[in-house]
Amino acid sequence: MSFKRHIPNIVTLLNLFSGCIALIFAVHGNFVVAAMFVFLGIFFDFFDGLLARKLNVQSPLGIQLDSLADLVTSGVVPGVIMFKLLSLTVDGPDYASYSESWNSIFHWQNFKLSLVPLIGLFIPLASAYRLAKFNLDEDQQTYFKGLPVPANTLLILALPLILEYQNNDVMNSIIINKWFLIGLTFLSCYLLNSKIKLFALKFKDWSFKNNAIRYVFLIISLVALIVLQFAAVPIIIILYIILSIIDRKNIH
């Protein structure tokens, strides 16, 4: 039995491991460290498929394992983060205070729960549905149908990072707004499972002619990140969708 065929799966499991650690920090409200491990998981997610193709060891097991890892790293984690952000908008007593009784979780006297933050958990549901459809769709080899779950994760992760590092009152007031967060949740769920064809960042060659849309996207995204930092992420996602619609005739 060749060890080579297990290498991509090990990298996929590192994605899952990173996602599990990110989930722990997200539950405890440490979004910065959670984001770091999500970024690490997405890094592993990029390289597991690349390794499988380079080593010529692609397998149905690897495809299923990849989706299961993505569901945690790029599905459950952003859902928990949205849950926590929405919890900040709930009126009344400190919503986070219920977590103090986790050591006595089987004693429910002090347990508080609001329905509004649970809307954030629609993101893992939509992500799971999108990943299942992706595994069954043989057309999505050179393009994506609907927003990829890692891209949606970056969109959600940008929100607490903007709050942490941008220190902009206008952006903060928008992010910590219940209706904005609810609207963004439903929008992300729609985009994940929409029929919009989006180009993939896969280069068959390095010529500008065959990859003009990709080069334009990468250059604008880099400039936006330098100028706007984490606030650039939502703009980049919008740009990605707009450029894909403009170039839809070449997406196949």
- Assigned domain for 7 exists: yes
Q: What is the DSSP secondary structure assignment for residue 4, as one 8-state letter? A: G
Cα–Cα distance, 148 to 11 (Å, whole number): 19
- What tens digit of pLDDT does each residue of 216-249 get? 999 999 999 999 999 999 999 999 999 999 888 7
- Assigned domain for 250 exists: no
- Assigned domain for 215 exists: no
What was the pLDDT predicted at 3? 74
- What tens digit of pLDDT does each residue of 179-199 get? 999 999 999 999 999 999 999
Range of the domain at 10: 3-96+112-197
Q: What is the dihedral of CA 141, 217, 72, 23, to 10 degrees?
A: 170
More confident residue, 7 or 78: 78
Look-up of token digits 């609001």? 114
Banded model confidence at residue 56, pLDDT cuts 50, 70, 90: confident
Judge whether 102 and 47 are in contact, CB under 8 Å.
no
- Assigned domain for 83 exists: yes
- Assigned domain for 62 exists: yes
Beta strands in 44-173 (DSSP E): 143-145
Number of domains in the chain: 1
- Assigned domain for 71 exists: yes
- Assigned domain for 74 exists: yes
Which CATH number goes with the domain that contains 180?
Answer: 1.20.120.1760
Partners of residue 144 on adjacent β-strands: 198
Judge whether 146 and 195 are in contact, CB under 8 Å.
yes
Longest dimension (CA), the chain: 65
